[in-house]
Chain A
Amino acid sequence: MRGVIGLASGLLFGAGLAVSGMLDPLRVRSFLDLFGAWDPTLAFVMGGAMIPMAIAWLIQRRMAAPVADAHFHLPDTDPITPRLVGGSALFGIGWGLGGLCPGPALAAFAINPPAAAIFTAAMAVGFAIVWALDRPSGPRTPVHA
């Protein structure tokens, strides 16, 4: 059941990225190019994605548990920490440099495997660095959304 949900969600997510032009790093970069030839497409994608999700959050509040688990596993919505802000700031820098965030980078394996592989391998190194830094310091930092 978990596998079916994961695959269905991933398939639709990847298809949505492809349909919306988000697998084109130059287009994504152009959204971030406020002072150049700005491309607002990404704003429509995020706005569009928030509509079903806003409804899903309303439904979620009325559900005792998700379909295929005993509980919802949801990240905290507070507090604002230097780690959150610093990490997000770094992410934005990488996003601006390459025009890629993790979803499109993975979905792009279907279109440009060599480029997707370089970006994704480097990203995995980044994951490993944070994972290693977090490990020795006792209890693991909770994973937030």
Chain B
Amino acid sequence: MPDYAMPGQGLIGGLMIGVAAAIMLLGAGRIAGVSGMAARAIGLGGGAPRTLALTFIIGLPLGAALVAWAAGPILSRFPMSMATLAVAGLVVGIGTRLGSGCTSGHGVCGMSRLSKRSIVATFTFMATGFVTVAIVNAVGGGW
């Protein structure tokens, strides 16, 4: 395990995310999928009641802000280029809607349900993620 890895914090944060998704499932009967909820919240998707989607989406930065307030600054290294951010965001937006989910909906909720669609989706986006980073590195693309 490399020294920069954070297995303990990863596991604790992961458990929190899992409990959050469980609250959504057992409380509201919905998948805590961020791409779907975000699209719904801004009127670009169907599914969950608007209030549920909006409060969930607003909760995300509030939760992060609470952690920053309680525990101090959160390390966050973004890509240097605005163009990279914009292209990445656009591709993520199109891909998650076509693919009906992202890391949360497919990766966490669907995989733990043993959903065939989610397992295929998760393996697919992991695979293209690995390949994309390898290609960017190979052509000398920076961060």
Contacts and interface: CB of A to CB of B under 8 A. Distances in A.
Given A15-B64, A57-B113, A47 B13 contact: no
A63 B9 contact: no
B25 A66 contact: yes
B52 A115 contact: no
Contacts of A90: 91, 94-95, 98-99, 128
The bracket for how many chain B residues form the interface is 35 or more
Contact of B6 (A21, A99, A130, A144): A21
Interface in B1-59: 1-2, 4-7, 9-36, 38-39, 42, 44-49, 51-59
A10 B104 CA distance: 12
A109 B74 CA distance: 12
Contact residues of A: prevailing secondary structure: helix
A96 B130 contact: yes
Contact of B62 (A10, A34, A47, A72): A10
Contacts of B128: 88-93, 96
Interface residues of A, number: 121
B67 to A, nearest CB: 4
- With most chain A CB atoms within 10 A of its CB, the pick from B9, B15, B77, B95 is B95
A112 B61 contact: no
Given A107-B64, A115-B78, A127-B39, A48 B88 contact: no
A29 B51 CA distance: 33
Nearest to B106: A145
Contacts of A26: 77-78, 143
A18 B64 contact: yes
B114 to A, nearest CB: 8
Interface of A: 2-27, 29-30, 32-57, 59-60, 63, 65-69, 71-80, 83-103, 105-112, 115-116, 118-131, 140, 143-145
Q: Which 4 A-B pairs have the closest CB atoms?
A: A126-B93, A10-B59, A48-B14, A20-B13
